[in-house]
Amino acid sequence: MTSNYEKQVYKARELFLNYSQQTMIDKFQISHDHAYLYMKLLDGNYRISRTDGSVEQEKEEGFEPCIDYQVVMALYDVLCCSAPHPVLSGRWCPLASLQTAGSPSADRFTVECAAAFSGKVSALRAACESLGGMRQSVPASADACYRIALLPFFPVIFQFWEGDEEFAPRIMLLWDEKSLDFMHFETLYYVMGHFLERLKALLSGEY
C-alpha cells in the first residue's frame, strides 16, 4: 500500500522529468554524466536518474535508493522550483521572518535537539566541523556557532547556547534573506529537520 509520502515523492519525480535538466546543471554547476545528476546535501552524496528521476544515496557498497523523504523532496524542490537566477543576499534572519503570514515556529524542531545537545558542546562543535562547518564569532556569545553548507551553494548559520539554572539550552538557525529563491518555505523545514537529525546522529556515533 502506497503511503502519502510515497505518493508525494512519485509526483515530485514526475515533475522533475518535466523540467530542463540542462537549466538545472547550468544554474547550480551540478556535476553530471549521461545517466545522472550528482548532488551533495550536508555530508551525503546523491544522484538523480536523468531518465526516471529516482534519487539514490551513496553508501559504502555503492548507490542505493534514498528513502529519506526530507532529502528527496528538498533535492527536487531546489532543482525544479528555485528562482531562475537565485543569489544569496549575505543577510541573515530567523526562519519565521522569511514568511510574514502564519509562519509556524521552528521550536518544535529545535527544543528537543537543544536538550539532546546539552552538556555536549565540545562534541557538538566537532560534529559541526565534520559537516564542513566554519566557526563564526557572534556578539551573543553562543557556545557553538557555525556556518554550514546544507547544499554547496546554500548555507545556514547554526547557533547553540548551553543551558543553566535559569535558562534551558537553546538553538537558533539563521537563514539567508533570499532563501525562498532557492526552495519553498515548507522545504526549509525539511532541510532543517534533516540537518538537526544528522547532528544528533553524529553525536550518538551513528555515522
State whether 189 and 120 are in the same domain: yes
| Residues in the chain, overall count | 207
User: What amino acid occupies position 104?
Assistant: P
d(CA 150, CA 78): 12
Its domain, for residue 171, covers 92-203
In the numeric block, which cell numbers belong to residue 106?
521552528
Q: Point out the domain boundary residue: 22, 47, 81.
A: 81
- Smallest CA-to-CA distance from 203 within 137, 108, 118, 136 is with 118
The answer as to whether 59 is a domain residue is yes
pLDDT for 99 beyond 80: no
Q: Point out the domain boundary residue: 49, 81, 113.
A: 81
pTM: 0.89
Helix (H) or strand (E) segment spanning residue 122 = helix 121-130
Q: Using alpha carbons only, give the angle 188, 191, 196 rounded to the nearest 5 degrees.
A: 120
State whether 99 and 64 are in the same domain: no
φ/ψ of residue 32, rounded to 5? -160, 165
User: What amino acid occupies position 44?
Assistant: G
Predicted pLDDT at 1: 45
d(CA 7, CA 73): 12
Predicted pLDDT at 139: 64
State whether 100 and 175 are in the same domain: yes
Pairing mode of beta strands 62-65, 55-59: antiparallel
Predicted pLDDT at 11: 87
State whether 75 and 169 are in the same domain: no
d(CA 145, CA 173): 10
d(CA 51, CA 67): 19
The 3-state DSSP class for residue 131 equals coil
**In which band, very low, low, confident or very high, does the pLDDT at 131 lie, cut at 50, 70 and 90?**
very high
Q: Domains in the chain: how many in total?
A: 2
17-68 pLDDT tens trace: 999 999 999 999 999 999 999 999 999 999 999 999 999 999 999 999 998 8
d(CA 78, CA 191): 11
Q: Point out the domain boundary residue: 26, 48, 81.
A: 81
**In which band, very low, low, confident or very high, does the pLDDT at 109 lie, cut at 50, 70 and 90?**
confident
Predicted pLDDT at 80: 95
State whether 103 and 181 are in the same domain: yes
141-200 pLDDT tens trace: 889 999 999 999 999 999 999 988 788 889 999 999 999 999 999 999 999 999 999 999
